[in-house]
Amino acid sequence: MEVLLENLLEAVEFGKVDRKSPYPPQMREQDGALEITVNALEAGIGPQSILEEALIPAMAKVGKKFSENKIFVPQMLMSAKAMGASMIGLKPYFVSGDIKTKGTFIIGTVKGDLHDIGKNLVSMIIEGGGWSVIDLGVDVSTEKFLTALDENPGAVIGLSALLTTTMANMEQTTKAIKEKSPNTLVLVGGAPVNMDFCKKIGADFYAPEPQGSVEYLNSIFS
């Protein structure tokens, strides 16, 4: 059983989605995250163990390598696909409550901004860290964030922006969230954003790379 978890961790870390996937070359014709997850469940390994002993450590490794510039966006996206393949097998257990997540994380790119690569990377790393992620997409209005918060009390909110012209919308959304729910944690990120801007608009945390957000959340919800 331990070997299956080690194999799954490796498959996600290196982006091996399924047996048919040619990537990465050194794992060609080997089982990928999809098959290993099925085999692990059939072998009696609990879904919580799969999450905590394979997926979360794998994504922590991916996030750390990305923050250290040892891998880049394409490799991150392949790891995301591999994790997604594994999650297909685990989704029923999330729905049934057999898998306990650390909490709910709502994320979106703010109104007027259509960029999603950074948002997607953060979503992947945070989901891989054991959180239930609600991705609202791009060009998300303040009202849509507030509605999602109403539907998911106690959630953490992540706001992304890539354009300097949409930073004002990030500020507006942050202030509206804090006015409605002062205790809601708001994380902000994106190329033009920095810690000074984060403090100025009343957000709680900024990280220049996805792994920093996971480490912050882990420090709060450990």
Task: Look at residues 96, 126, 160 and tell me which one is the last residue of a structural domain.
Answer: 96
Contacts for 191 with CB less than 8 Å, ≥ 6 apart: 118, 162
d(CA 115, CA 74): 16
Residue carrying structure tokens 């942050």: 174
Q: Are residues 72 and 125 in the same domain?
A: no
Q: Are residues 74 and 160 in the same domain?
A: no
Task: Look at residues 78, 96, 114 and tell me which one is the last residue of a structural domain.
Answer: 96
Q: Count of alpha carbons within 13 Å of 112, Cβ hemisphere only?
A: 14
What pLDDT, on the 0 to 100 scale, is given for residue 32? 97
Q: Are residues 127 and 78 in the same domain?
A: no
Q: Are residues 131 and 57 in the same domain?
A: no
Contacts for 168 with CB less than 8 Å, ≥ 6 apart: none
d(CA 32, CA 29): 9
Q: What is the pLDDT of residues 145-194, one digit of tens each?
A: 999 999 999 999 999 999 999 999 999 999 999 999 999 999 999 999 99
The count of structural domains within the chain is: 2
Task: Note down the domain range covering 180.
Answer: 104-220
Q: Are residues 142 and 34 in the same domain?
A: no
Q: Are residues 187 and 212 in the same domain?
A: yes
Q: Are residues 124 and 66 in the same domain?
A: no
Query: Residue 41 above 90 pLDDT?
Result: yes
Q: Are residues 121 and 203 in the same domain?
A: yes
Under a CB-based contact definition with an 8 Å cutoff, are residues 85 and 37 in contact?
yes
Q: Are residues 91 and 187 in the same domain?
A: no
Cα-based angle 134, 58, 99 (whole degrees, multiple of 5): 50
Can you give the CATH number for the domain in which 11 is found? 1.10.1240.10
What pLDDT, on the 0 to 100 scale, is given for residue 118? 86
Q: Are residues 214 and 118 in the same domain?
A: yes
Q: Are residues 190 and 212 in the same domain?
A: yes
Whole-structure pTM value: 0.82
Mean pLDDT over all residues of the chain?
Answer: 93
Q: Report CA-CA distances (Å) from 209 to 62, 66, 73, 202.
A: 12, 8, 12, 20
Can you give the CATH number for the domain in which 180 is found? 3.40.50.280
Query: Residue 29 above 80 pLDDT?
Result: yes
Q: Are residues 138 and 81 in the same domain?
A: no
